[in-house]
């Protein structure tokens, strides 16, 4: 088992956050289909992350925590994204664990 699967919004595990690079977003909406609690398409046709309070975060590079119950959906979004624009990283050291820059 790797540490990156032990995610916890309560801080008991390795906290993850997600962000979208809108410059690469194709507007396909797969992310919003997988995890509508985390992702949403805006009127500009691009996907954005949402805050835990359901607010659309439109600033470039805006991040939101990955809730443990939605981890698989967020990871699947990153894997299936045709634009390779979804980045999931550890909060502690900002290392990408899922997405196009994951090692």
Reported as a single tens digit per residue, the pLDDT across 1-25 is 333 333 433 344 689 999 999 999 9
pLDDT tens column, 39-55: 999 999 999 999 999 99
Query: Who's near 51: CB < 8 A, 6+ residues apart?
Result: 57, 64
Average pLDDT, the chain: 89
Tokens found for residue 15: 């906290």
The CA-atom distances, in angstroms, between 94 and each of 15, 53, 87 are 10, 23, 10
Q: What local confidence, expressed as pLDDT, does residue 90 receive?
A: 96
pLDDT value of residue 6: 37
């Amino acid at each position: 088992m790797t540490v990156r699967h032990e995610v916890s919004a309560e801080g008991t595990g390795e906290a993850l956050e997600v962000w979208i690079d809108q410059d690469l977003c194709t507007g396909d909406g797969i992310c919003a289909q997988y995890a509508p609690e985390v992702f949403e398409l805006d009127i500009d046709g691009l996907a954005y992350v949402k805050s835990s309070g359901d607010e659309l975060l439109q600033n470039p590079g805006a991040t939101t925590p990955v809730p443990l119950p939605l981890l698989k959906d967020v990871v699947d979004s990153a894997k299936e994204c045709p634009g390779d624009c979804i980045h999931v990283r550890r909060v502690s050291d900002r290392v990408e664990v899922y997405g196009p820059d994951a090692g």
